Amino acid sequence: MWIQSRKETLAFDPAELRFGDKINSAPFGVDWYDAPTRIIQLYQLFHLYKAWRDTHTVTFVGDAHGKFDTDMVFEWTFPTAKYTPLHEWLNPDEKEYSVHRYADAIPTIIAEGLILGFFDKMDGTVYDVPSLFNFIALDILGYDETDYKPIFDLGKNNLVCSVGARAADLLWYEKLLKQSICRRPGGNVHVERTVPALFPGHPTYLHLGALV
């Protein structure tokens, strides 16, 4: 798997965030009883992801074309997916953050509208906790990361954070970029096998540094 450096020594100013940027978070510590977080980290460590400590991915949407009066992110979190103010989501006392941007294109107004439409549709959907166990199950059964079987899965409209974040980029790619020279965001990994550590570890994303 990808073990490229995240270049976390670079500081990234929040004022430089653009629509569609992925922000990853990594907790400084994990409670012993926090099974979902430990599952994510162990899975990523097993697959040799450099950023295996990352456990959550959100997408920056700014004011979402005037929908909000403050900068927002969209996230899949327990219990439901939602828009969240960036300043409320950030908690630098407990987590560190890194910023990642699709490398091959800048979203146009049409692309942004497409992505926002997807987020609006997903807003309020239930977080797919069982699919966290699906990652492990498919590994045990020997499935390649380009393949997927919904053994533990609430349904196609119920996602986890990293899957939803990449699904937005893949929607943009499939609708507007596929016939160009642009690479598929995240490569050939099946969208349902997307983990947070894919974004800082894959060459189709620019790794812009630590959010400060």
Question: Considering the entire predicted model, what is its pTM?
Answer: 0.92
Please say if the pLDDT value at position 24 is more than 50: yes
Domains of the chain: 11-211 (3.90.1720.10)
Mean predicted lDDT score pLDDT of the chain: 92
pLDDT band at 9 (very low <50, low <70, confident <90, very high): low
Please give the Cα distance from 45 to 148 (Å, whole number).
20
Mean pLDDT value across residues 153-173: 93
Over residues 59-79, the pLDDT tens digits come to 999 999 999 999 999 999 999
Mean pLDDT value across residues 18-22: 98
Please give the Cα distance from 125 to 18 (Å, whole number).
25
Whether 59 and 21 have beta carbons less than 8 Å apart is answered as yes
Over residues 179-202, the pLDDT tens digits come to 999 999 999 999 999 999 999 999
Using omega within 30 degrees of 0 as the cis cutoff, is the peptide bond preceding 107 cis?
no
Question: Under DSSP, is residue 162 helix (H, G, I), strand (E, B) or coil?
Answer: helix
pLDDT at 130: 87
pLDDT at 6: 44
Question: Under DSSP, is residue 75 helix (H, G, I), strand (E, B) or coil?
Answer: strand
Whether 23 and 210 have beta carbons less than 8 Å apart is answered as no
pLDDT band at 119 (very low <50, low <70, confident <90, very high): very high
